[in-house]
Structure 1
Amino acid sequence: MPRRLPTSAELRIWRDFIETVEALRGVVAARLQAETGLSPGDYVVLLALSEAPQTRLRPSDLAVAIGWERSRLSHHLGRMERRGLIRREGFSGDSRGASVVLAEAGSTAFHSATVPHLTVVRELFVDALTPEQLGAVAEITAALRDQLPETLNRGAL
């Protein structure tokens, strides 16, 4: 079967989609940083830890939960640890590694950032669409996610 390439119209839709998503991410990131001092990466790590049992995860589990490579996560955790947002602790009785723990300052920063973050999501995404369009976005997102390889299909946020 010959390979079918996207048409010009399909490529235009693809490009508009990608450019719009990137523009939205950029505005959300800039507002989050300006209003809370947290980067989107900080926020996603703090969110995952805040939802974890005892607010702690092994780095490998955290990487899977947020859909990051271990090396990227390791560097980011180092920066967050220096800022007092997280700490790394050994497992009791397990010398194989450490867990990443949500520090009190990280919990405070996360909870302080939640309302500003959700406000910008409402302003730029939810309020821009009708309820029917939001339903269509949910369907489209599910269809796209179903096309992804399983390893990429679990990422957070």
Structure 2
Amino acid sequence: MTERWLDETEMRAWVAFLDTSNLLLRRIDQQLREDGGLTQPQYELLTRLAEAPGQRMRMAELALALVASRSGLTYQVSQLEKAGLVRREAYTGDDRGILAVLTEQGEQALHRAAPGHLRVVRENLIDLLDRDQLATLADTLSRARAHLRATGGA
């Protein structure tokens, strides 16, 4: 089977997706470093913990939610643990299970960084689109995410 090259419209969509993703993530990372001393992956990790029941998650579940390797997650948790933003606890009933737990300092760091993060996301994506465009974007990316997860993309 020969591969189908991207036509003009497909290529335009692909390049726009790549450029927008990279530019937005770069801007978010800059803002998070300035406002909270965090990287984008660290902010996302803290956010997932803040939203989890009891502000804690098993490391394996957290890795899956963040689409991160276990070693990559371990590194990020270690960095956040050194900063006092996260702590690890044994998971009751499973000797191998470890929980990542958001600390009070972690919650404070999240609250310091969140307003600027929301501003950057709104100014550079959300507020540029009308409600129908947002719904289409959410539906489209959700479909691609579901496909990637179902086919082994994490």
TM-score, normalised relative to structure 1:
0.85
Identity across the alignment (%) = 36
Q: Which has the higher contact order (CA 8 A, sep 6+)?
A: 1
Q: In the alignment, does 2:69 pair up with 1:63?
A: no
Distance 2:109 2:143 in 1: 35
1:24 — aligned with what? 24
Compared CA separation, residues 104 and 19, structure 1 to 2 (3 A): same
Compared CA separation, residues 98 and 134, structure 1 to 2 (3 A): closer
Compared CA separation, residues 146 and 79, structure 1 to 2 (3 A): closer
Q: Secondary structure at the match of 1:148?
A: helix
Q: Supply the AA of the counterpart residue of 2:49.
A: L
Q: Secondary structure at the match of 1:152?
A: coil
Q: In the alignment, does 2:80 pair up with 1:75?
A: no
2:126 — aligned with what? 126
Distance 1:97 1:136 in 2: 39
Compared CA separation, residues 99 and 135, structure 1 to 2 (3 A): closer
Compared CA separation, residues 93 and 16, structure 1 to 2 (3 A): closer
- The size of the alignment, in residue pairs, is 153
Which runs of 5 or more structure 1 residues have no equivalent in the other structure?
Answer: none
Farther off after superposition, 69-78 or 90-99:
90-99
Distance 2:63 2:100 in 1: 11
Coordinate RMSD, CA, aligned: 2.0
Farther off after superposition, 143-152 or 105-114:
143-152
Q: Secondary structure at the match of 1:81?
A: helix
Which runs of 5 or more structure 2 residues have no equivalent in the other structure?
Answer: none
2:43 — aligned with what? 43
Shift of 1:9: 4.3
